[in-house]
Chains A and B, each alone.
Chain A
Amino acid sequence: MAGGGDPKWQKDAADQNFDYMFKLLIIGNSSVGKTSFLFRYADDSFTSAFVSTVGIDFKVKTVFRHDKRVKLQIWDTAGQERYRTITTAYYRGAMGFILMYDITNEESFNSVQDWVTQIKTYSWDNAQVILVGNKCDMEDERVISFERGKQLADQLGVEFFETSAKENINVKNVFERLVDIICDKMSESLDSDPTLVGGGGPKGQRLTDQPQGTPNANCNC
């Protein structure tokens, strides 16, 4: 947002440590490595086995992007079918999705289309998506080639990375790229329609206050 628009996300009155806050979601089939991926990014740690996520969990990380502190609230979801109702409820208000499959698991790749449909149904249209093929360190067990992944991503019109939470390949890149495209989209939508920005309010106050009754909620979508 260097020279971009007004912050879409206003800082929390209590927390002065960031300029923007983005809510991100990691989704994908069960055991494709969502939790590991998140732990690698947020804590730079890796264990071969994380407890399978029950329902939904989150981690918070603050990063610097274009001289701005961006607080990322990253929600990690359970991939099991049974948890769909719970997790899809959290899609609304998410500004970015990391849609993950496991390159050693055909089924998880085949489900990508379903997940995209879920995003379309439950999120707003301005949410950004990155497709991620995880576990790229397990070259021996690979069943989904890079090209197939890339091709699918192109078809869906999203960006694509192959990653390894274990070997720490591309993990940071994925998050940084996602933050960048959210920022781009944000300033773009602000530029294209100045009438709705400000609305008489002072600059930089697209979202100035918490609505009554839902204290401290940061989602404005």
Chain B
Amino acid sequence: MANEEVFDDDFYQEDFSTATEWEAFVSRLTDILESYEVVEEEPLSNNELSLCEWCEEEESIVFNDFNLSVIRYKAKIPPKQEASKSTQCQVFQDLISIKNDHCLLDFNYLRHDYEVLYAPKPAKIHPLAVWYGLRDFIVLKNKKPLHDLSKIKLLQSSMRISVFDSKCNIPTFIQALYHEQDLFLGIYEYKEFQLAFDIVHLKTPPPPCKYLSGLIEMFKGKIGMAYVNPVTVSVCLSYSLKNFLSAAYSSDKKSDNDEWDKIDFVNVVSNLSFGVSIDPVHELILYTKWPQVGENVVFDSETYSDFNPINAPKWSIRTRFDYTPVCYLADMLHDYLTLIESQEALSEYYNFLLSKNRAGDVGNPFAALTDSRIPSLPSVLNTGSYSIDGPINEDQMQQIFSYLFPENNAGKFSYGDIQDNQFDPQKIKSATPDSLVHRLSIILANIYTSFSGRRSVAQFWTEFTQKLRERVEKCLRIPGVASGFPDMRTCLLHQKLQMLNVCIERKNIREGRLPFAMQQQFAQQEGKTDSDDEFFDCDDDRVVDDEAAATQSPWNPVGRISKLGKMLLIDCDEPLYIPVTQDPVPKTEDELEDDAEMLLNVSDSELRAQLMSASLLSDMESFKAANPKGKLEDFIRWYSPRDWIEDEANEDELFGRKGHLSDRMMIPGNTWQTVWSSAKPVPARRQRRLFDDTKEMEKVLHFLECQTLGSIGELTIAPLFHSALIKLQKESEETKDFLPNFKEKENKLKQNCCILSREKWISSKNVSRKKWEAITNDFSEWELSINQGKSIMKKLYQEDYKLNDDDIKFLNSLMKCYDTELEGGAKNDIGVRVMSMFNEARAYQNEQRPEDHSWSLPDPFEKQFTLRQFGNTTNQGTGGPQFMRVILSGNEFRLCGAFSQNTTFVYAP
């Protein structure tokens, strides 16, 4: 500003050209208005203003006790393909266009300050855009509400001057009175036309303004000149439906403790609940519209109205959601996380777990150990009749375990194919869906959150570990666990159970019983072989006849699998045999971490090599046993072929015998040589076991028995969330096509579950728990959205209706709370359903039978009339646009006018 520059300069003590403060204010305002650029854009399409994004530019001016913000609101209209820019004034066009009518944003709804987390945040749209359909305008807003009329006048005239001086081509408004009243006064100038915007806001309408006839009269009176064309009227009547009765949607949840006896216990605890406590669709709004009628063809007064909603040419509906219902699944996940805080040990509930000698307390499970060499497959399910006192009664417990451990894995609770070899980069570190670990997690979550809390968890887990012990002792496979070694891509609990199975299987085979795959076959009398099962290595049978020989002489070969190609030993003409070796050692991830840790703590590399050499020694001993005349060179040729360098010269040597060890194998005293020299010819069978299944078994059982309640929660959280995710995917089957951002939400949730499941659990400060808690919010949001979709479906469609593409578009729009058109109005199928819902609600209210349906709607909660006039006047040449929108609702009357004047006539003498 000019005067500021002057003050900066000491030389000019007084600046006589400086204007008054007011003039400075006006000039500043003019500067701001001048700085706005106006771009001519294409005509607006239907509803565009409510769907597009808006941008705001804000400047502030202080003048006396005014503290003004000058805000420019501008819709970001994407350029359209068919560039049909008109030469007419954009503001006039927007005002007059009926396409741009009833700006279809749910404005009343938006004004509620919905603080609820998941409510969609619709683009904020200024009421001026809603009422006038303006795409670009400026608002002067004082920090404090302007009540003083003289102040308003002062501001108004300042604005006039600025608008005039800056030749600002954007409608400019002042906001007056209380801000929440949304009262504005505005002006706009275009060529010879001056447009005055004026808003009236009252609690109740003056009687003549209640009906169209009176309004038209008032409109004409205000214009004060006659136009050739009649006034064009647009009408919209809005109806609200909140009482859905038979179309209401809700989900029942069984949670009362005393009802648990009466219901199918297993069915309840084994399923995740899903649903919402109240109908998420709070309200359905029906708009009946007459987009364009001439004033002379309709009549609307207190006694008679042409506007019968049933005959309205356009119908549209909108949903309003309630964002507060409890979502059962997410709620349960959230609750379950509180279990993790518990530091209680199982032994605090069941102290027999503490005493080593448990035999007396628990019905002597160890007795089973002593006579566990029963070759047949006994049913243990009913034999373990000891009971652990707790909130879950014996019958319920039995039900649970016949679900978790279905006998022979048959019957209605049998496990499906739980082998999962699919590669999925987003795999959740949990277990296969509907595997034992998943079932277990769901049961735990159910009994914890809606049965008897921690006590039932303690009781159930104790029972579970006892059942495992029993199965282990009877050498019964644990069902519902993927076969094979512990899979690090699954959760720790699953790995532990896999480990148990490995141990049970090894023990079984050691004791001369059939491997699991064959047992199962036998038990189920099925022809199909489970070829995936690679537990069992039948080699022992093949080498059995060596047994006698081995005892006779140490030089007799034992434990051969097969010849290695055509290879011969280097020092004699005997073939080189691949030996039977000990199976690799299975490890769960925590054991592996301990191993790694141990290695990391050994600073000497050679010592580490020694630690690692146990399996090398075992293999070398097996090799020596199978190839009594074999040398280290022969071993290397089988074990590490690249360390055997063949001589190229000997082309006649067919058996690759001429050659030498690589340099590294010849380093004096290297691990390979030292281990070889200490290796004795002992077949794998007779070696010290690298893997002690008995010890390992006890280790796993001990691990499970020593969990605190909190750590039980940690072990099961990933499988539980995984199951929950699958549950939501299943529940969303019928609605997913139209739920907004469904794929993104699903992916985000999956990804987050995946990341968290792979992260190490951090218990201090509850870091991990809080992260899981954070994603329960996403679950909640998703669950709610699925229920919203289901609720809308229930209201508007027949059951089992197959959605077509148009339905999907329609539903998607409703999900976004948009005003959504019903083609054909009352004749539309959905229109008919809507009508019948209104009728049902009315009948309910009047306690009438619903059969009495004379198709009618209740009183509208809002009426909107928009009156427009433009074109030539009868005697004053071309007239400017005249616009008036009237909004009549129960507690509000609003009149928004924009009246133009042709200034040529006003100022002409």
Q: Which of A51, A73, A120, A195 contacts B609 (CB under 8 A)?
A: A51
Q: Are A49 and B642 in contact (CB under 8 A)?
A: no
CA distance A48 to B765 in the complex (A): 51
Within the complex, what minimum Cβ distance (angstroms) separates B756 from chain A? 7
Q: Which of A73, A122, A220 contacts B600 (CB under 8 A)?
A: A73
In this complex, how many residues of chain B approach chain A with their Cβ under 8 Å: the count is 61
Q: Which of B590, B599, B670, B765 contacts A58 (CB under 8 A)?
A: B599
Contact with B along A111-151 (1 / 0, CB 8 A): 00000000011101100000000000000000000000000
Asked if A170 is at the interface of the complex by the 8 Å CB criterion, the answer is no
Asked if A86 is at the interface of the complex by the 8 Å CB criterion, the answer is yes
Q: Are A199 and B767 in contact (CB under 8 A)?
A: yes
Complex interface: chain A residues within 8 A of B594 (CB): 214
Q: Are A30 and B643 in contact (CB under 8 A)?
A: yes
Known: A89-B587, A211-B761. A51 touches B771 (CB 8 A): no
Asked if B94 is at the interface of the complex by the 8 Å CB criterion, the answer is no
Within the complex, what minimum Cβ distance (angstroms) separates A204 from chain B? 12
Within the complex, what minimum Cβ distance (angstroms) separates A188 from chain B? 13
Which parts of B736-752 form the interface with A (CB within 8 Å)? 748, 751-752
Q: Which of B425, B641, B642, B760 contacts A211 (CB under 8 A)?
A: B760
Q: Are A201 and B767 in contact (CB under 8 A)?
A: yes
Asked if A212 is at the interface of the complex by the 8 Å CB criterion, the answer is yes
Complex interface: chain B residues within 8 A of A46 (CB): none
Selected interface stretch from B131-139, B320-328, B657-665: B657-665
Within the complex, what minimum Cβ distance (angstroms) separates A71 from chain B? 12
CA distance A201 to B764 in the complex (A): 10
Asked if A54 is at the interface of the complex by the 8 Å CB criterion, the answer is yes
Asked if B551 is at the interface of the complex by the 8 Å CB criterion, the answer is no
Which parts of B569-625 form the interface with A (CB within 8 Å)? 584, 587, 589-590, 592-594, 596-597, 599-600, 605, 608-609, 612-613, 615-616, 619
Within the complex, what minimum Cβ distance (angstroms) separates B344 from chain A? 15
Q: Are A207 and B762 in contact (CB under 8 A)?
A: yes
Contact with B along A186-221 (1 / 0, CB 8 A): 000000010110011100010111011111110111
Complex interface: chain A residues within 8 A of B589 (CB): 92
Contact with B along A51-75 (1 / 0, CB 8 A): 1111111100000000000000100
Query: Looking across the interface, which residue of chain B has its beta carbon closest to that of A124?
Result: B758
Asked if B775 is at the interface of the complex by the 8 Å CB criterion, the answer is yes
CA distance A53 to B616 in the complex (A): 11
Asked if A80 is at the interface of the complex by the 8 Å CB criterion, the answer is yes
Q: Which of A51, A53, A195, A220 contacts B667 (CB under 8 A)?
A: A51
CA distance A54 to B606 in the complex (A): 10
Complex interface: chain A residues within 8 A of B11 (CB): none
CA distance A208 to B759 in the complex (A): 12
Q: Are B488 and A30 in contact (CB under 8 A)?
A: no
Known: A49-B664, A212-B711. A92 touches B768 (CB 8 A): no
Q: Are A199 and B600 in contact (CB under 8 A)?
A: no
Query: Looking across the interface, which residue of chain B has its beta carbon closest to that of A107?
Result: B642
Asked if B202 is at the interface of the complex by the 8 Å CB criterion, the answer is no
Complex interface: chain A residues within 8 A of B768 (CB): 199
Complex interface: chain A residues within 8 A of B760 (CB): 207, 211, 217, 219-220
CA distance A73 to B593 in the complex (A): 14
Q: Are B643 and A31 in contact (CB under 8 A)?
A: yes
Asked if A85 is at the interface of the complex by the 8 Å CB criterion, the answer is yes
Known: A89-B488, A208-B767. A55 touches B762 (CB 8 A): no
Q: Are B774 and A195 in contact (CB under 8 A)?
A: yes
Complex interface: chain B residues within 8 A of A125 (CB): 425-426
Asked if B12 is at the interface of the complex by the 8 Å CB criterion, the answer is no
Which parts of B640-691 form the interface with A (CB within 8 Å)? 640-643, 662-667, 670-672
Interface of chain A, main secondary structure: loop
Asked if B763 is at the interface of the complex by the 8 Å CB criterion, the answer is yes
Asked if A90 is at the interface of the complex by the 8 Å CB criterion, the answer is yes
CA distance A11 to B426 in the complex (A): 27
Asked if B566 is at the interface of the complex by the 8 Å CB criterion, the answer is no
Q: Are A216 and B664 in contact (CB under 8 A)?
A: no
Within the complex, what minimum Cβ distance (angstroms) separates A187 from chain B? 15
Query: Looking across the interface, which residue of chain B has its beta carbon closest to that of A57?
Result: B608
Within the complex, what minimum Cβ distance (angstroms) separates A213 from chain B? 7
Asked if B423 is at the interface of the complex by the 8 Å CB criterion, the answer is yes
Q: Are B613 and A54 in contact (CB under 8 A)?
A: yes
Asked if B639 is at the interface of the complex by the 8 Å CB criterion, the answer is yes
Q: Are A31 and B763 in contact (CB under 8 A)?
A: no
Which parts of B708-767 form the interface with A (CB within 8 Å)? 711, 748, 751-752, 755-756, 758-767
Asked if B770 is at the interface of the complex by the 8 Å CB criterion, the answer is yes
Query: Looking across the interface, which residue of chain B has its beta carbon closest to that of A122?
Result: B488
Complex interface: chain A residues within 8 A of B667 (CB): 49, 51
Complex interface: chain B residues within 8 A of A92 (CB): 488-489, 589
Q: Are B643 and A217 in contact (CB under 8 A)?
A: no
Q: Are B640 and A52 in contact (CB under 8 A)?
A: yes
Q: Are A89 and B592 in contact (CB under 8 A)?
A: yes
Query: Looking across the interface, which residue of chain B has its beta carbon closest to that of A212?
Result: B763
Query: Looking across the interface, which residue of chain B has its beta carbon closest to that of A23?
Result: B596
Complex interface: chain B residues within 8 A of A208 (CB): 762, 764-765, 767
Asked if A29 is at the interface of the complex by the 8 Å CB criterion, the answer is yes
Within the complex, what minimum Cβ distance (angstroms) separates B576 from chain A? 15
Q: Are A49 and B662 in contact (CB under 8 A)?
A: yes
CA distance A23 to B594 in the complex (A): 16
CA distance A201 to B765 in the complex (A): 7
Query: Looking across the interface, which residue of chain A has its beta carbon closest to that of B616?
Result: A54
Q: Are B592 and A90 in contact (CB under 8 A)?
A: yes
Q: Are B608 and A196 in contact (CB under 8 A)?
A: no
Which parts of B403-435 form the interface with A (CB within 8 Å)? 423, 425-426
Query: Looking across the interface, which residue of chain B has its beta carbon closest to that of A30?
Result: B642
Q: Are B671 and A214 in contact (CB under 8 A)?
A: no
Known: A31-B643, A56-B599. A86 touches B711 (CB 8 A): no
Complex interface: chain A residues within 8 A of B765 (CB): 201, 205, 208-209
Q: Are A215 and B597 in contact (CB under 8 A)?
A: yes
CA distance A54 to B676 in the complex (A): 13
Known: A89-B488, A121-B423. A195 touches B639 (CB 8 A): no
CA distance A178 to B716 in the complex (A): 35
Q: Are B775 and A195 in contact (CB under 8 A)?
A: yes
Within the complex, what minimum Cβ distance (angstroms) separates B759 from chain A? 5
Q: Are B770 and A80 in contact (CB under 8 A)?
A: no
**Interface-central residue, B640, B643, B670, by most chain A CB under 10 Å:** B640
Q: Are B758 and A221 in contact (CB under 8 A)?
A: yes
Q: Are B597 and A216 in contact (CB under 8 A)?
A: yes
Given A29-B642, A213-B590, A217-B760, 7 new contacts (CB under 8 A): A54-B613, A80-B639, A121-B423, A200-B773, A200-B774, A207-B759, A208-B762
Chain B positions near chain A (C-beta within 8 angstroms): 423, 425-426, 485, 488-489, 584, 587, 589-590, 592-594, 596-597, 599-600, 605, 608-609, 612-613, 615-616, 619, 639-643, 662-667, 670-672, 711, 748, 751-752, 755-756, 758-768, 770-771, 773-775
Pick 25 A–B contacts, CB within 8 A, sort by A: A29-B642, A30-B640, A48-B663, A52-B643, A52-B670, A54-B609, A54-B672, A57-B612, A85-B485, A86-B612, A86-B615, A122-B488, A193-B755, A196-B755, A196-B756, A201-B765, A205-B767, A208-B762, A208-B765, A209-B762, A211-B763, A214-B590, A217-B597, A220-B759, A221-B759
Chain A positions near chain B (C-beta within 8 angstroms): 29-31, 48-58, 73, 80, 82, 85-86, 89-90, 92, 105, 120-122, 124-125, 193, 195-196, 199-201, 205, 207-209, 211-217, 219-221
